[in-house]
A = this chain, B = another copy of it.
Amino acid sequence: METVKSHVVHGGTLRYLKHDSATTGTPMTLSIFVPAGEGPFPLLIWLSGLTCTEDNFTTKAGAYKAAAEHGVIIVAPDTSPRGEGVADDPAYDLGQGAGFYVDATQAPWAPHFRMESYVTGELIDLIDAQFPTTKTRSIFGHSMGGHGALTLALRHPELFKSVSAFAPIASPTRCPWGEKAFTAYLGEDRAEWAKHDAALLIESGAAKGVFDDILVDQGDADSFLTDQLKPELLTAAAQKAGQGLTLRMQPGYDHSYFFMASFVDDHVAFHAKRLKA
């Protein structure tokens, strides 16, 4: 992995890294914050939303003070493969910057858009090999990345100690962003879609007995709340399945990083407690 740049922040070291991914067949970029000291430290993976790179969370979320205090590594990968020769779409919600954390099965996306395998396989392996991790980890994210955190944790519960989300796409099979992306990446068969739908996975009992609680923060002034995010589908699914899930509706907050910055300390503490249990 090539270090693109490096900064000291809150006593730890923040690096922007680039590496050639065998999974996506492209260069991939990420940021990683490692607290001061020798470790080993547990790993917290952040997944960003539509249009983001690894930089949005890194510069705007203000998460590293809590990460330093709790002694947690935070990794934030880019949201898709990118570059010439990688398929794209002029819309902001498909293609580069919109990988949706699934492995595409459809042309022209299939060869490179393999974000589920990248995050749950190559990325974790690389970080565990090259940084002082405890080889335990948790995952959280925002919007499309909240969907990614929930579905990757529910589909790979053996990999993660805990999961949380900010304003996640709760049920991509039932909102325009998800219907568009899943049609493009996974094809027309809705049975395939259901395997990547957080609300449906929870309802099926995927994480029952694995995650004691799932923390979800949602701003009630979020312009995407009603049409795209639908957090009520998460609470309904959790009640049906007997899955612990805490949805906090935050009054006045919108979809921006100012919302995440306001509650990120709670999420880091939520994961640190479970990573160190």
Contact = CB atoms under 8 A, between A and B. Distances in A.
B8 A254 contact: yes
A256 interface: yes
Interface string A57-79: 00110101100000000000000
Interface stretch (A9-17, A98-106, A238-246): A9-17
13 contacts: A7-B258, A7-B259, A8-B251, A8-B254, A8-B258, A8-B262, A9-B261, A10-B261, A10-B262, A59-B60, A60-B60, A62-B62, A65-B262
A11 B8 CA distance: 29
A252 interface: yes
A221 B8 contact: yes
Interface residues of A, number: 24
A74 to B, nearest CB: 13
Interface in A221-277: 221, 251-254, 256-259, 261-262, 265
A62 B252 CA distance: 19
A60 B57 CA distance: 10
Most buried by B among A14, A254, A262, A265: A262
Nearest to A7: B258
A67 to B, nearest CB: 12
Contact of A262 (B11, B59, B254, B262): B11
Contacts of A265: 65
A244 B273 CA distance: 43
A8 B259 contact: yes
Interface string A138-169: 00000000000000000000000000000000
Interface string A1-42: 000000111110010000000000000000000000000000
Nearest to A221: B8
A76 to B, nearest CB: 14
Contacts of A60: 59-60
B258 A9 contact: yes
A92 B246 CA distance: 48
A3 to B, nearest CB: 14
A70 to B, nearest CB: 16
A12 to B, nearest CB: 9
B62 A9 contact: no
B59 A257 contact: yes
Contacts of A59: 59-60, 257
A254 to B, nearest CB: 6
Contacts of A251: 8
Contacts of A221: 8
